Amino acid sequence: MKVLCFGSLNIDYVYQVPHFAGGGETLAAASLSRFSGGKGLNQSIALARAGLEVRHAGAVGRDGLFLLEELREAGVRTESVEVLEDARTGHAIIQRTPSGENCILLYGGANRRITREQIDRVLSDFGPGDALALQNETSELPYLAERARERGLTVALNPSPMEDGLLPLLPLANYLLLNEIEAAQLLQGLGKPVPEAGEDLAAALALPSTAVVLTLGSQGSLFADGTRLVRQAAVPVRAVDTTAAGDTYTGFFLAGVLSGRSVEWSMKYASSAAAIAVTRPGAAPSIPSRAEVLAEMGD
């Protein structure tokens, strides 16, 4: 089984701030750091560190070649990443507060230059038994999800950032991995009531063919597939940077279930990985190795 992660590659500029800047406010940052990021890149690295064979597809400009190095160092194949001469690599402006929370502004850049030709070329190497991890930071997502399902791939969708254009993709996803805010936005877009309790939120989104994994931060995570509900507690830690915690959870959860582990084990694997990630600064550099996560789990 091979995993294709077709998604964003970003340069993350992280500004340490006392609080998120408000409208009309000028706020001084205490520091600026640069990290590798992008939900796609982060999830590729998490999938690879969790033990799967991963190929990343996407696009960067010449200024983002170091992101490909970072992927390769993590064991991710990068031959399906296009290097565009006339585009800048995507980037994210991230405000990070003392409690580790973040607020992200995205510039798509090369991530928005994915073409149908690139998608057809990349997907021709994948078929039944393989899996596709998707987020919403690249162009041509509906085309990609439809072609992948036609070719028999298992599709995992992280609908982030959320927008109504994603609604038709929900039935195409075998796994939908999202947080409470995205879940509420999805239900609002579908014109459905938004329940308050996490269990009801997860159950409201599950379809017979789409299992939902809902992350609730310090409240843990939930799995719902229409027949059962599984709850996993979060591992208590002192967070310094929550950036990429969701990406880490997604990569480790998918690595668990795609390699035949139970949902319960995969949720524990994912929660332990995300708990380690939030104790470290940055996106991709914060993602732990499989050995670190197994040690945290006591497995």
Residues 6+ apart with CB under 8 A from 111: 7, 8, 9, 10, 38, 40, 58, 59, 90, 137, 138, 139
Task: Give 165 or 171: the residue with its C-beta nearer to ligand RIB.
Answer: 165
Could you tell me the smallest distance in angstroms from the CB atom of residue 115 to ligand RIB? 21
Q: Which is nearer to ligand RIB, 96 or 268 (CB)?
A: 96
Query: CB-wise, 10 or 271, nearer to ligand RIB?
Result: 10
Q: Which residue is nearest to ligand RIB (CB)?
A: 37
Distance CA 278, CA 244 (A): 8
| DSSP character string of 150-214 | HTT-EEEE---S--GGGGGGGGG-SEEEEEHHHHHHHHHHTT----SSHHHHHHHH-BTTBEEEE
Q: Which is nearer to ligand RIB, 39 or 147 (CB)?
A: 39
Question: Cβ 285 to ligand RIB, closest distance in Å?
Answer: 10
- Give the C-alpha separation, 134 to 5, whole Å: 6
Minimum distance of ligand RIB from residue 226's CB (angstroms)? 28
Binding site for ligand RIB (CB under 6 A): 8, 10, 12, 37-39, 42, 92, 104, 106, 137, 243-244, 246-247, 283
CA-CA distance, 14 to 71, in Å (whole number)?
20
Q: How far is the CB of 183 from ligand RIB (least distance, A)?
A: 16
Q: Are 84 and 59 in contact (CB under 8 A)?
A: yes
The pairing of strands 175-179 and 211-215 is parallel
Q: Does residue 287 contact residue 45 with C-beta atoms inside 8 Å?
A: yes
Between 154 and 158, name the residue whose CB sits nearer to ligand RIB. Answer: 158
- What is the closest distance, in whole angstroms, from the C-beta atom of residue 139 to ligand RIB in the complex? 15
Cβ-based nearer residue to ligand RIB, 10 or 154: 10
In whole angstroms, the minimum distance from the beta carbon of 39 to ligand RIB comes to: 5
